[in-house]
Chain A
Amino acid sequence: MRLLVVEDNEVVADAIVGGLQLAGYTVDHAGSAELARNVLAAEHFDLAVVDIGLPGADGLSLVREVRAAGNAMPILILTARYELSERIRAFDLGADDFLMKPFEQAELAARCRALIRRANLVPSGAVTIGRVSIDLLGHQLCIDSQPVELTKREWLLLESLAHNLGRVVSKDRLLQALAGWEAELSANAVETHISRLRAKLGEAAVIRTVRGLGYRLDEQPERDAQ
C-alpha cells in the first residue's frame, strides 16, 4: 500500500512518514499542494494524508482538484485549526476523514487502515479482520481459512456490520436489513441473531454492544489494553 503525506511542517511530516512506515505502508512526502499535485498526476496512491494549512494553495483546494480529476482514493484531512466550517467544507469537497492535531500515531494509523479497507471493500468485496475474512460477493465467512455456515439472517447482519467496519450500526438499521428479507420481526430478533453470530465468530472477531446505540464489528479483534 502506498500513501502520500502532504504536510509542510518538517517535524510533523517526518514523524507521520516514520509512523506510517512502521505501520507497514510505503510512504511518500510532499511539502506543498503544488508538489503533491505533480506526484498524484504521475503515480498511483492508495491514500493521501493532507494538511489543510499548507503554504500556497491549501489542502482543501488540493482535495477539490484531486476529486475534479476523477481520483477516488481516500483522503484524510489533518488540521490544527478549530473551525467547524473547515470540517464541513472538507467533507463537502470530498475528503473521507478528518483528524485534529495533535493526534496519536496509533489513531492516525488506525484511521488510514479503516479508510483503505473501506475503499477496497467495494472493488474486492472482501474484508479481512485478523483471522476472519468476509467475502461479501461470494457470501462466505471464513475463520482461519475454514468456511463457517451462517443462516440468511446472520449473514445479513454480518454484511451490514462489515460494510460499517469499526463504526456503530444502530439496532434500527440492522432491523431494517433483516426486515427487507422477512416481514414480521420483533425488536428482540436482532439481539437473538447477533448472539448466535457471536457464538459462531467465537474469539476470532468481536461484535461489541454499544448500550443504547447498536453494535460494532471491531476492526482489531485483539486490541490490547494499553
Chain B
Amino acid sequence: MTIQRRLVLLLAPAFAVLMLVAALIDYRIAIVATRTTYDQALDGAARATAALLSSEGGMLRFVPPTALRAGAPADQAGSLLYLISGPDGKLIAGSALLPEAASGGNPAFADISYAGHALRVATLRVQTPAGIARVTVAEPTALRSQALHTMLVGDLLVDFVELNAVLLLLSIGLYFSLRPVRTLGAQVEGRAPREFQPFAEADLPGEVRPLILEVNRLLELLNDASHAQQRFIADAAHQLRTPLAGLLAQLELLLSKPAAAALKSELISVHRAIQHVAHSANQLLSLARAEPLAALPDHFVPNSLEERVAQVVERNVDRADLAGIDLGAEADSAVVLGDAWLLDDLLNNLVDNALIYTPRGGRVTVRSGMHPEGPFLEVEDNGPGIALAERPRVRERFYRSAGSPGNGSGLGLAIVDEIARVHQAHFAILAGTGGRGSRMRIQFGPQAAADS
C-alpha cells in the first residue's frame, strides 16, 4: 500500500469522527440559541399583546389587531394563540382553555400540550390600573424544531463538504510532496537487473535520503567489485593461456620433428595432459565470466540465435565428421538480448557434450526459434540420454556421472546453467524424441526477445 493511500485511509475516519463531534456540539449550541431566540420573540409577542390592553374605568379592555381578531387557528405556523386574564382570573380575551405558564421569571415559559399540539407558552404578568393581568401567548414548538432541523442539516452538510475538502487537499498535498519518492520508485522498477548506476539524490525527501545514499554506496561497491572481477578474469585468462599456448605449440612443433619419434607416445600423453589443463582453464574462465557480477546486462545487445546456431554447427562440423556423427541445424529466426560470446559458450558446451556422449552413427541437431513463451535454443542428440535421477546433479559444478568418457572438467552444464541464468532463461534437461537421447532446452523469457 502506498504511503498516500495509507495516510488517507488512516486520517479519513479520524476526521469523520472529529467532524461528528463538532456537529454534535454545534447542535447543542443551536438548541440553546434557538430556544433563547424564539423565547425572546415570544416574550416580545406577549409584551406587544399586553400593550393592546387598555383600562377603562377599572375595566380591562383588549382590542385585538386585525390579525388576531380573526382568531386564526392555533396549528397554523406563525399564528399566535393567546389568553388574557384579569387580576381576578377572569377571561378577558383569547382561548380560555390555554394553560398558563406557572410562575417563574416574568415572563414565565413552559412547554405544554394543547388540543393535541405541543406548544411553548409565555405568561407575562403586567401591572394595570385594575391590578395584575396575565397575558399568555403560545406558539407551536414545531416552529423551533423546524428551524433547529434546518440548522442541523445545514451544519452536517457543511461538515461533510469540509471533510471532503480536507481529504482532497490532503491528497493533493501528499501527491506533490511524495512526487520525488514516486519518481524514485519508478526508477527502481524500470531498472535492468544488475544495473549499477547510482540513483539521483537531488529532490529526495529527508525520510528516504539516507536510504538512497546507502543504496548508492552499495551500488558503487558492487560496480567496483564487478569491474575488479572482469579485470581479474581478463588478466587470469592472459596469464594462464599465454604459457599454455606456448607449451602446446612447442610440443606440437617437437612432435613434428624426426628426433621426437622415439618418445612420440610419451609426448602425446604430455600434450593430452596440457590440453586437459587448457580445457579446464577455459571452462573455469567461462564459468567466472558467466557469473552475475561479470556478465552485466548493460553489455547485452540483440543477438540472432539463428546466427549463433549456424556458427556453432559450422565450427563443430569437422569434429562431428571425425566422430561419425551427423551434426545439423534447424535454425529458425529469433533474436534475444544477450552476450554473443556467452551464447556461443553455452551452445558450444551443449554441442561438445552431445558429441562426446553420442555414439558413432548418431545424430545431433541444434535448434533455434520462437515459442509462445519466448525465443529458445535446443540441442538434441540420440545418444544414451541422462537418467531422470541424474538430471538435477549434472548441472552441479565438477559433477561427472559414473563412467563418463573423455576428460571433461565437469563444468560444461554448470556453465550452461549460469549463462542461461544471466540471460534470464530456463535451462531444462529433457528426453530426446521418442524418449531416446537427450534434449537440452534453453527457454528465454518473452522479455529477452529483442528486435533485430
Contact = CB atoms under 8 A, between A and B. Distances in A.
Whether chain B is bound by chain A comes out as yes
A14 interface: yes
Contacts of A83: 234, 341
B333 to A, nearest CB: 12
* Range of interface residues on B (Cβ < 8 Å): 35 or more
B246 interface: yes
Given A211-B327, A213-B310, A103 B245 contact: yes
Nearest to A213: B329
Contacts of A29: none
A24 B253 CA distance: 13
A207 to B, nearest CB: 13
Interface string B233-256: 110011011111111111011001
B195 interface: no
Interface string A199-226: 0000000001011110010000001011
Interface size class of A (residues with CB under 8 A): 35 or more
Contact of A226 (B233, B245, B322): B322
Contact of B299 (A84, A105, A210): A84
B289 interface: yes
B159 interface: no
B249 A12 contact: yes
B233 A82 contact: yes
A102 B278 contact: yes
B396 interface: no
Contacts of A216: 314, 317
Interface string A75-114: 0000011111101000000000000111111100000000
B92 interface: no
Given A15-B252, A210-B327, 13 more contacts: A9-B245, A12-B245, A14-B246, A19-B249, A80-B245, A82-B285, A83-B341, A87-B341, A103-B245, A106-B252, A211-B326, A213-B331, A226-B322
27 contacts: A9-B245, A11-B250, A12-B246, A15-B246, A19-B252, A19-B256, A22-B256, A53-B238, A53-B242, A80-B241, A82-B285, A82-B289, A85-B299, A100-B241, A101-B242, A101-B245, A102-B244, A103-B248, A103-B249, A105-B256, A167-B314, A210-B317, A211-B326, A212-B365, A213-B328, A223-B318, A226-B322
Interface of B: 233-234, 237-238, 240-250, 252-253, 256, 278, 285, 289, 299, 310, 313-314, 317-318, 321-322, 326-331, 339-341, 365
Interface of A: 9, 11-12, 14-16, 18-19, 22, 53, 80-85, 87, 100-106, 167-168, 170, 208, 210-213, 216, 223, 225-226
